Amino acid sequence: MKPKPIFHKRIFWDVNFENIDYDAKARFVIERVFERGDVEDIRICRQYYGDDKVSEILLTAKWLPLHRIYLASAVIDKDLNQFRCYITTPLNQLLSPY
C-alpha cells in the first residue's frame, strides 16, 4: 500500500483534509490539484496516481480554468483539443464588461 500523498491544505480548503480517500476520490483529488496546486503538488499527484491515470482524468474533466488546461496540456503532453473541458467550454464565458 502506497503512503498517502501530502498536499498543501489550501488545495482542499472546503473539505475535511484528514478524511480524504485518495483512491476512491481520485478524480476529485487530481482535478483539484491541477486546478489549485503548485508544481510540487502536481509532481506528488503524478507520482501517486501515475501518468496514465492523471491523463485519463484530466482529458475527461468537465471543467478546469483555461490557464490550468494549458498547464495540464504541457504536463501530460496532450493537444488542447483532446481535453473535454477545452472543447466543450462555451467561448462566451469571458468576463462580463459590467
DSSP 45: H
Residue holding cell 503538488? 41
Asked if residue 49 is part of any domain, the answer here is yes
In a domain, 50, yes or no: yes
In a domain, 96, yes or no: no
Domain holding 36, by residue range, is 23-87
Structural domain contains residue 17: no
Q: Which residue has the cell 510540487?
A: 40
- pLDDT averaged over every residue in the chain: 91
> Is 92 among the domain residues?
no
Taking 70 as the threshold, does the pLDDT of residue 91 lie above it?
no
Quick check: is 11 in a domain?
no
Q: How many separate domains does the chain show?
A: 1
The answer to whether residue 79 sits within a structural domain is yes
How sure is the predictor about 29, in pLDDT bands with cuts at 50, 70 and 90? very high
> Can you tell me the distance from the alpha carbon of 14 to that of 3, in angstroms, rounded to the nearest whole number?
23
Q: Is 8 contained in some domain?
A: no
Question: What integer pLDDT is reported at residue 90 of this predicted model?
Answer: 63
Q: What is the pLDDT of residues 66-78, one digit of tens each?
A: 999 999 999 999 9
